[in-house]
Amino acid sequence: MLHELPLSAIPAGDEAVRAEVRAFALAETAGMTPAQKARSWMGFSADFSRKMAERGWLGLSIRKEYGGQEAGFFRRFVIVEELLAAGAPVSAHWIADRQSGPLIQRFGSEEQKQRYLPGICAGQSFFCIGMSEPNSGSDLASVRSRAEKVDGGWKLNGQKIWTTNAPRSHYMIALVRTSGKAEDRHKGLSQFVIDLKSPGISVREIRDLAGDAHFSEVFFEDVFLPDDTLIGDEGSGWAQVTAELAFERSGPERILSSIVLLQGWLDWLRGQPAANPAGVGRMMAHLAVLRELTVAVTARLAAGESPAVEAALVKDLGTTFEQELPSQVLDALAADPAVEPPADLLAAAAYVAQVSPSYSLRGGTREILRGMIARGLGLR
Amino acid sequence: MSNMLEDSAKQVFAAHCGGDVVRAIEAGGDASALWLAISEAGFADALIPEAQGGTGLHPSDLGVVLLQAGAAAVPLPLGQTMMVRAVLSEPDTVAGPIAIAAGAAQTTAGLTLRNVPYGRVADWVVAQVSGAWCLLPCADATVTPSAVHGSLAADLQWSELPAATALPDRDWRAVGALVTAATMAGAMQHLLAQTVAYAGDRIQFGKPIGKQQAIQQQLSVMAEQCYAARMAAQLGLSLPDSRDATAVAKSRVGEAAAQVGPIAHAVHGAIGITEEYDLQLLTRHLIEGRAAYGGETYWAAELGRSVLATDKAPLAFVQDMSAGKRLPEAL
Ligand SMILES: Cc1cc2nc3c(=O)[nH]c(=O)nc-3n(C[C@H](O)[C@H](O)[C@H](O)COP(=O)(O)OP(=O)(O)OC[C@H]3O[C@@H](n4cnc5c(N)ncnc54)[C@H](O)[C@@H]3O)c2cc1C
């Protein structure tokens, strides 16, 4: 069901941290070029993540007994907004903080929570997501990596691909088949926390079209997974993944991937005689409305609901905006061949334009999200 | 979440503003019975401060009423009337619907206001005459329909300047833009429900057309635009004195309408083009609303100039705007 998204507000207590986060993020990114900042949540710095943890800005939804802040969704919202607006290199802790930690807290055993959560909250344990495989992209339930029951644990064989940060992560949460056959689809899938130092794992980086190597292939050959690395019961992996994707799709990051470019463009236009007010205003109107929509989705999460379809809707609108922005800015920067915009702004615009197709692939493609919305409308 | 105001708006419009009523008024019929029902429900006086005998609500609270008015294609300037009545010192002396003129007044021979939205059904009109905003009675005006078939816009002409009541100085055109954005968002919400229902009913190739992925993807886009439009309108109403927020609302709603209307028609096929089918009551309002009180590009440029005049980061600009918003109260 697609529910209404009423206008909502960020609680004052969570707003209160904004100024401090903004000052920190601006100071930390002062020496970066626009193109570096435009890497947004692909920029990796373990040092930055450690500093975040020292300030109590990681593990916001994790309980105090596991090293978290118990501060809730809106605190994270405010912090993430400021980090992304500044172009801070958040990638190292990003996945652990956003989804692996909350997933373990919700579905993991007591022992697992004690083992993994403190490291996540301290900005010392980095995670990656092992969902996609060469033959399982949108059709995630068709994954073929398979763990067989053996004495004291499981033996895993198979392959993952497009795994962001695998070479730089300590753990992967992987979705694999543990019983039944591919035809059984959602049944017989389970998730494990895999220690990436385990014997039998090899990782190969994949370079992207912009020259970066954020994602990779991961191969498993008779990798032994102890029993206590299975999350929840055998066969409950699909339900976990569904819950996890709702966290993944609902944050402010789904509208802010290219915000650094908007900032650079405005900065440049402010010094130009022939500004482009209608082009600027259109982007700003979109941004203002998208932000209200993400606040409204967050309010639903904070109220304990699971607004999966609404999050998919906002993500699709958000990534459309994120993709239109570089397209418009590139055209605007080239509006007059006699006027040469700054080289670093051009480089940032070109970089964002190159990678922007990925915005509507990662975390579920545009077509898949629209299918979810159609289901929410009662059409499927 | 139930809301008394929303429920009562639904009831009033369902009872008094069916498609037949809208068609009759658009064809030149008398709108006084509908206006009576709306005023008796208290909507027209909802923004008047309690001390002056009104309900003392905020435009943010009235969003639900304007959305429902848009959904019912109410052929009267309800939002305009509510907003203007809120500032009148003696609202009791001003009975009937109030329009807001979009363009400049011509004062060469008497007074002429061109293409006033809802000019055909208004008893009063707000206009800027020689630089000053005022309220004018339509009683002595010659009313000439000025726009396309079914439109309620009219040219209003007085041979002599009528007696005018001065209004507080604010940009009343922006007020017109804001309430138009709200009714457009309501119209879109209803179009979505109507179109989804139709896609479930209409059988071609042995199954409902809504089972076709191509139709599903179009309806998903339509839903996205409707959600964006509704949020834009809500944001605007929550900041009625912010020209920036009005600019966000009118430009974003207009952009959404440019997609929503065509998708609604595409999914309906030929039946949606007919006079008899209710779709057109709403899609015509969207086309007219987009152009009324400044289109998307006008309001986007207004917003852009405002942003460029500051040194704020883009996200900080929208955060600061949003921080002042007044959430609707649960009534
Ligand atoms: C930058 C980046 C980082 C990523 N990081 C990770 C990660 O860390 N971990 C991870 O597991 N994965 C990751 N992914 C993978 C991502 O989840 C997949 O790319 C995505 O699920 C789509 O799968 P695919 O690329 O195989 O495309 P496909 O599924 O092959 O899709 C190709 C096209 O077909 C369309 N299509 C497919 N099925 C349908 C259908 N039923 N109806 C209509 N259209 C359909 C798709 O929408 C798309 O347009 C990442 C991807 C990117 C780009």
Last residue of a domain, one of A126, A146, A180: A126
Q: Which sign does the torsion angle of CA B91, B95, B100, B104 carry?
A: negative
**Closest residue in chain A to residue B219, using alpha carbons only:** A374
Q: Does A18 fall in a domain?
A: yes
SS3 annotation, A222-282: EEEEEHHHEECCCCCHHHHHHHHHHHHHHCCHHHHCCHHHHHHHHHHHCCCCCCCHHHHHH
pLDDT digits (tens, 9 = 90+) for A352-374: 999 999 999 998 999 999 999 99
Is the pLDDT at A16 greater than 50, yes or no? yes
Query: Is residue A197 within 8 Å of A174, Cβ to Cβ?
Result: no
pLDDT reported for residue A41: 79
Rounded to whole angstroms, the Cα distance separating A96 from B195 reads 42
A15 contact B CB<8A: yes
Closest by CA position to B237, among listed B173, B305, B296, B177: B177
Burial B4-34 (b: 16+ CB within 10 A, else e): ebbebbbebbeebbeeebbbebbeebebeeb
Query: Same domain, yes or no, for A44 and A63?
Result: yes
CATH of B172-322, one of 2.40.10.10, 1.20.1420.20, 3.40.920.10, 1.20.140.10: 1.20.140.10
CB contact under 8 Å between A313 and B227, yes or no, is yes
Same domain (yes/no): A254, A369: yes
> Do A177 and A288 lie in a common domain?
no
DSSP H/E element including A305? none
Q: Does B84 touch chain A (CB under 8 A)?
A: no
Amino acid in the structure at residue B76? L
pLDDT value at position B1?
44
Distance between CA atoms of residues A72 and A202, nearest Å? 36
Number of domains in chain A: 3
Report d(CA B74, CA A41) in Å as an integer: 47
Please give the Cα distance from B47 to B61 (Å, whole number). 9
B2 confidence band (pLDDT: 50, 70, 90): low
**Is the same domain home to A371 and A246?**
yes
Domain B2-166: give its CATH architecture.
Orthogonal Bundle (1.10)
Identify the domain boundary among A235, A266, A295.
Answer: A235
| Residue-wise pLDDT tens digits, B213-266 | 999 999 999 999 999 999 999 999 999 999 999 999 999 999 999 999 999 999
φ and ψ at residue A193, rounded to 5 degrees: -95, 110
Nearest-CA residue for atom 44 of ligand 1: A367
Which of A302, A312, A173 lies closest to A250, judged by CA? A312
The answer to whether residues A198 and A113 belong to one domain is no
Mutate to test the interface with A, among B319, B320, B331 (most CBs of A within 10 A): B319
What integer best gives the mean pLDDT of chain B?
Answer: 96
Which tens digit of pLDDT belongs to each residue from A227-247? 999 999 999 999 999 888 877
* Cβ neighbours of B213 in A, within 8 Å: 371
CATH of the domain at A154: 2.40.110.10
Please compute the mean of the pLDDT values over residues A14-28 and round it to a whole number.
Answer: 97
**Binding-face residues of A in 350-379 toward B, CB within 8 A:** 367, 369-371, 373-374, 376-379
Does A64 map to a domain? yes
Tens digits of residue pLDDT in A112-151: 999 999 999 999 999 999 999 999 999 999 999 999 999 9
Q: A83 and A135, same structural domain?
A: no
B235 CB near a chain A CB, below 8 Å? yes
Give the start-to-end residue ranges of the domains of chain B. 2-166, 172-322
Does residue A6 lie within any of the structural domains? no
Model confidence pLDDT, tens digit, residues A161-216: 999 999 999 999 999 999 999 889 999 999 999 999 999 999 999 999 999 999 99
CA distance B207 to chain A (A): 12
Tokens of residue B285, six digits: 């309002």
Range of A348's domain? 239-376
Cα–Cα distance for residue pair B19/B74, rounded to 1 Å:
9
Q: Which atom of ligand 1 is nearest to the CA of A368?
A: 47
Which has the higher per-residue pLDDT, A245 or A277? A277
- What is the domain-level CATH number for residue A263? 1.20.140.10
In a shared domain, residues A274 and A357 = yes
Q: Are residues A249 and A371 in the same domain?
A: yes
Residue pair A157/A198 in contact by the 8 Å Cβ criterion:
no
What CATH number is given to the structural domain containing A24? 1.10.540.10
Is A290 an 8 Å CB contact of chain B? yes
pLDDT at B43 over 80: yes
Percent of chain B surpassing pLDDT 70: 99
The verdict on a CB contact (< 8 Å) between A277 and B300 is yes
Residues A133, A122 share a domain: no
Count the Cβ atoms, other than its own, within 10 Å of residue A56: 15
* Residue appearing with tokens 């990678």: A355
Any chain A CB within 8 A of the CB of B209? no
pTM over cut 0.95: yes
Residues A52 and A95 in one domain: yes
Q: Are residues A32 and A78 in the same domain?
A: yes
State the first-to-last Cα distance of chain B, in angstroms, to the nearest integer: 10
The whole-number average pLDDT for the span A339-346 is 94
Single out the residue in A85, A108, A126 at which a domain terminates.
A126
Interface of B with A in 245-274 (CB under 8 A): 245, 247-248, 251-252, 255
Mean pLDDT of chain A: 95
Q: Does residue B288 surpass a pLDDT of 70?
A: yes
